[in-house]
Amino acid sequence: MRSYPLGGVSVALGTLATPSGDLSNTGWTQSTGPTLWQTLDETTASDADYISCTATGAVCTLSLNLTAYPGGATQTHTIRGQSSTGGGVSVQLINTANSAVVRTMAHTFTPSWADYTVTLTSGEIAAITSGDLKVTITST
């Protein structure tokens, strides 16, 4: 059986944006707490609490608590995860105002907890037109 634990999701867009609400969920469960976002809303990802699923194709969408969109500085997206069975995730960062996908990222996890960070391009940063972002995570 595959396992896809995630210990944190964050987007550094000038200030750190972390999950702030569950928008939809099919197949993910949290290790503690009442919601997925409350498990992942840490400014520093923790391996002590996490969300997980056991099958490919599980999808959740989380809102991010960003209130101002970024300028031209370097911006990153980080997800923390592990999989002892070679699982991974596809992650979409979405500008909610116009439903435009800012970036799609694929991460294949290792058996140990690790951070997977992607630096957004200047074009991707420019595609963020408001402080209203969401992230969709799909197990692969």
What is the number of other CB atoms lying within 10 angstroms of the CB of residue 136?
18
H or E segment to which residue 134 belongs:
strand 133-139
Average the pLDDT over each of 39-43, 49-53, 67-71, 113-117 and give the range with the smallest value: 67-71
Whether pLDDT at 5 is above 70: no
Write down the pLDDT at residue 25. Answer: 96
Query: What length does the chain have?
Result: 140
Confidence of residue 86 (pLDDT cuts 50, 70, 90): confident
Domains and their CATH numbers in the chain:
6-139 (2.60.120)
In this prediction, residues 93-114 reach a mean pLDDT of: 88
CA-CA distance, 127 to 66, in Å (whole number)?
15
Whether pLDDT at 82 is above 90: no
Tell whether pTM > 0.85: yes
